[in-house]
Every structure is written in structure tokens, then in C-alpha cells.
Amino acid sequence: MIDSIKNIYSGSLTYAANWDEYSEVPFWQKMDYIGVNAYFPLTEEMTPDAEVLTQSWQKFIPDLQKISSKLRKPILFTEYGYLSVEGAAGKQWEVQSNLEVLPIHNEIQQTALESLYSTFYEKNWWKGGFLWKWFPEMKGHEGYPEKDYTPQGKPAIETLKKWFKGN
């Protein structure tokens, strides 16, 4: 299928592999980017600070850098983001299933994004990513917009402005 697509499409291609399976994808050589859904469980702390999160990223960097170097392909986070609730920098799939009972905590979302950008922004093998989730005109939420992944209307928007203003 990849070869068929490349016969009619001249743009870049990637595949979105989960954070715990990207090293097992057999067809990265046919892609332009190593795509990773970057919902790495960084910590079990409910309200971690930036230092904890930045330190937690260090355990994942060697494998990301290794596969990028080995395959001579840059890493692209095909999805990344954080909920605005306690525990959002941990096992996000578990946190999301408890969303209605978890308290809002906007600072975690902001701190987690800051940590991600400060960790990866200058890595020459990291080419950015796609932030999950942005709602046109704030329509389309699945239930809890104040706790959702979107940074819209939350302090995390300032983090985005800081890192991407003029870039």
C-alpha cells in the first residue's frame, strides 16, 4: 500500500505508532518520519513539577534517538497532549477513563507541555508534532471541555505562544 501511495503522492508520509510500539514497526524505511503517538507515562505523581517531568523524559530519549539514528529518519510526534486534570502526565489512558471524578488542574497541562518542548525543541532528530486537541470555535467536545486535552482558554495556551511565536 505504501508503494502505491508513493506512486501518486509526492508529499511526506508517516505512520502513527503508539509510544510503546514504535520500535516494532517493520516499514519505517518506507516512511519519511518515524511517527510516535507520544502519550508516554512520565510519572505517577498527581501534580508533578517541571523538574520531575523533564527528568522523566530522560528515560525515553535514548530509545527515540537510537531509532532515529539507526533508520536515519526524524521523529515526529503524530499526537501529543495532556488533559487538564491531576495525574495527566501519567498513564493518560487510565486518567481519561476517570475524567468525570478528577479535579481540574490546568497547571499540570501547562507544565507538561513546557517540559515536552524544553526537552525536545532543540533535538535535531525531533521535528515537532501534532497537538491533540484543538476545537474550531470550541465546538465538538466530548463532554468535559475544561478537563479536555485542548489548551484553548487555559494557561497552557501561553506555553504554546512562548515556544512558537515567530517560529
Task: Please tell me the distance from the alpha carbon of residue 82 to that of residue 40, in angstroms, as a whole number.
Answer: 10
The alpha carbon dihedral of 136, 157, 148, 90 has a sign of: positive
Cross-strand partners of 16: 35
The alpha carbon dihedral of 62, 35, 26, 30 has a sign of: negative
Task: Please tell me the distance from the alpha carbon of residue 59 to that of residue 85, in angstroms, as a whole number.
Answer: 24
Rg (CA), the chain: 17
**Which CATH number is 147's domain given?**
3.20.20.80
Dihedral pair phi/psi, residue 32, rounded to 5°? -90, -25
Task: Please tell me the distance from the alpha carbon of residue 163 to that of residue 129, in angstroms, as a whole number.
Answer: 13
72: containing domain: 2-164
pLDDT computed for residue 159 by the predictor:
96
pLDDT computed for residue 141 by the predictor:
63
Task: Please tell me the distance from the alpha carbon of residue 164 to that of residue 167, in angstroms, as a whole number.
Answer: 5
56 burial type by CB count under 10 A (0-12 exposed, 13-18 middle, 19+ buried): buried
Q: How many structural domains is the chain composed of?
A: 1
- Measured from the Cβ of residue 124, the count of other Cβ atoms closer than 10 Å reads 8
Q: What is the pLDDT along the chain (167 residues), one digit of tens a residue?
A: 999 999 999 999 999 999 999 999 999 999 999 999 999 999 999 999 999 999 999 999 999 999 999 999 999 999 999 999 999 999 999 998 998 899 999 999 999 999 999 999 999 999 999 999 988 887 766 667 889 999 999 999 999 999 988 65
pLDDT computed for residue 138 by the predictor:
76
Q: Return the closest-CA partner of residue 109 out of 147, 59, 61, 165.
A: 147
Q: Are 82 and 95 in contact (CB under 8 A)?
A: no
Structure-block grid coordinates of residue 88: 495527566
